[in-house]
Amino acid sequence: MIKLNCGGSVKDPRQNFFFFAKILTKTILQVINSMYNYNNNKWELDMNKSSLFFIIIILLILDVCVTFFDLSLQVVIIISNIEIILLLFISYKFLVKGFLVALFFNIFNSIMMYLNYLVNDNLVLFQMAFFHAVSILLSGLICILSKKQLNYVKTIEANSYLDTLTEVFKHRYFLERLDTEVSKAKRMNTVIGMIFVDIDNFKGFNETYGHKSGDILLYDTAQVINAMVRNQDIVSRYGSDTFAIILPQISEAEIENIAQNIHQEFKMYIEELTDIRKHRVSISLGYSVYPSIASTKDELISQSDTALYHAKQQGRNNIKIYHDVFIGINQNLNTNEIQLFTSLKTLLGTISAKDRYTLGHSERVMEYAIGIGKNLGLSEERIRILKIAALLHDIGKIEIPQNVLNKKEKLTTEEFALIKKHPIYSAEIIKPLSNLDKLHDIVLHHHERYDGKGYPTGIKGNEIPLEARILTVADSFDAMLSDRPYRKSLSIDNAIIELKQCINTQFDEGVVQAFLRLLERNKKEREIK
């Protein structure tokens, strides 16, 4: 039974009151701390399970104090009102869980107040019992209304996250959800896939057939993607005609399978649309995997984007997985050189951020150079060094200002002179890789011409290392096929004509012929497929 002194006098009221106040104060401070979220130097209410737990502790302390301490009627009334407010609050914040807690405490307090009313015959106690009983109904009503409000807010938020045209998620939601999924993957040790999908030749289609047709194409592409992914996958519109897919808790084989299904389904879709087929519309896909390839969410995005870029650069209408081109090329290096190599890899990523063309360009040049080298019968060791040289030949561009690298207008004499220094910068950066024979000279001379009119030293003919002559052809050919800020790309046929016209002036004839044989063989292989 509640030890209530209706007259207001107790044996030692101050001692009991101060004990009660001390415990309550400490508990309240703990509750506040549990609800504290430090964000941009601001206090924010962060209700969680621990917050509910500490509020329950407060309620228990209050009930213990009322039940076992000799408190005045005024103090009991204050405590009861505090409890009712807290119970209404948790019903609002914690919904069903909060209501169940409120139900328990209100029933208990209502019974105790009524029993005490029977003993003390004080109408105020009966009123408090009635208030606790009414609080049960209020808590239930607040819980229902709060639930409806929460559902409404979620609906509004969901709509704000959706792209109105394609009916898939916006870029903002993609980034927020990726944070969540990567954190979950770390805890659960699971795999995340990411696929980037881009509509090939979309700009031309849009200009030819109008924005309305373009909008229909975007919507239909989104629906094709949605139909091929799993329920738990997140599809978002990443750019104007680019979509990004997050695939949580998935195997690498499943990622490839989904990418293939999307590609095939889109191919079947465009076969039914004459206008689209006339304009050679297709899709290219690039993907990567966390954590086996990408180690962070930012790497997952950049690698998927890079893979997509390579897919489009290599003829469009295909699928590419990101692969680390540095794997397997650091053999025979000492510890210091391996560390330097790791730093150079990071440096290439920095250059890519300045000039997206550079990293993708270097990887494509590497593939061309390896093919030429094998065609000319170079040894495995020379090809390995050629591979490294191709990857690092433009690393000196880190020293070139971004406004010069990406300038759309014709370069001034001074700006071009600055560009011509990048082979020197590249050679200096890789100089510590002393164990790699001729690497320095290959990188230094990759812009020399066969007729001696190149840079930076003006050497000619066989004075130029063979690997450097190979790099010159591979580098120039890829540059011809790539859009640059200052000019549009050439077709493959026109690029081949340019190579032939520049034999014995810019290029070594033997290297060009080896490259042409490589291109012809690759063409036949594609036709067979």
Beta strand pairing call for 242-248 and 71-72:
unpaired
Q: At what angle do helices 123-161 and 73-120 cross, to 10 degrees?
A: 120
pLDDT at 244 over 90: yes
- Nearest residue to 447 (alpha-carbon basis) of 438, 460, 435, 436: 460
Q: What is the pLDDT of residues 250-268, one digit of tens each?
A: 998 999 999 999 999 999 8
Instruction: Please say whether the structural domain 162-323 has been given the CATH code 1.10.540.10.
Output: no
More confident residue, 299 or 469: 469
Give the list of residues 6+ apart from residue 31 with CB closer than 8 angstroms, or none: 51, 54, 55, 58
Closest by CA to 69, choosing from 20, 122, 133, 135, is 20
Residue with tokens 């792209």: 163
What's the pLDDT tens digit per position in 207-243?
Answer: 888 889 899 999 999 999 999 999 999 999 998 899 9
Pick the CATH number of 325-529 from 1.10.3720.10, 3.40.50.1240, 1.10.3210.10, 3.40.50.300: 1.10.3210.10
Mean pLDDT value of segment 154-172: 79
Predicted confidence at residue 159, as pLDDT, reads: 63
Q: What is the helix (H) or strand (E) element at residue 319, kind and residue range?
A: strand 319-321
371-458-478-202 Cα dihedral, nearest 10 degrees: 180
pLDDT in tens, 342-367: 666 666 666 655 555 555 678 788 88
Average model confidence (pLDDT) across the chain: 80
Of 341, 357, 351, 375, which is closest to residue 473 (Cα–Cα)? 375
Whose structure tokens read 């300038």?
Answer: 407
Phi-psi region of 189 (alpha: psi -120 to 50; beta: other; left: phi over 0): left
What pLDDT score was predicted for residue 29? Answer: 53
Rounded to whole angstroms, how far apart are CA atoms 304 and 244? 9
Delimit the domains of the chain by residue range.
4-160, 162-323, 325-529
Average pLDDT for residues 498-515, to the nearest whole number? 95
Tell me what the mean pLDDT of segment 30-56 comes to: 55
Q: What is the pLDDT of residues 372-414, one digit of tens each?
A: 999 999 998 899 889 889 888 888 888 888 888 777 788 888 9
Q: What is the mean pLDDT of residues 142-160?
A: 73
In total, the chain counts a number of residues equal to 529
What's the distance, CA 436 to chain centroid? 36
With 50 as the cut, is the pLDDT of residue 135 above it? yes
Say yes or no to pLDDT of 449 above 60: yes
The span from the CA of 127 to the CA of 109, in Å, is 12
How many other C-beta atoms can be found within 10 angstroms of the C-beta atom of residue 194?
27
pLDDT at 7 > cutoff 50: no
Chain centroid to CA 446: 36
**Torsion sign, CA atoms 447, 449, 453, 458:** positive
Neighbours of 355 (CB within 10 A): 20
Q: In angstroms, how far apart are the furthest CA atoms of the chain?
A: 116
pLDDT at residue 436 tops 70: no
CA distances from 125 to 13, 77, 129, 200 (A): 20, 8, 6, 78
Q: How far apart are CA 90 and CA 143, in angstroms?
A: 9
Q: Are 375 and 514 in contact (CB under 8 A)?
A: yes
Output the six-digit token pair for 412.
Answer: 């001034």
The partner residues of 237 in beta bridges, in order of sequence, read: 243
**Does residue 236 sit in helix, strand or coil?**
strand
3-state secondary structure (DSSP) of residue 42: strand
- Residue 67 in contact with residue 2, Cβ under 8 Å? yes
Of residues 121 and 95, more confidently modeled: 95
- pLDDT band of 50, cuts 50, 70, 90: low
Report yes or no: 355 and 406 within 8 Å, Cβ to Cβ. yes
Alpha helices of 380-508 — where are they, by DSSP H? 380-392, 402-405, 413-419, 422-429, 439-444, 466-481, 492-501
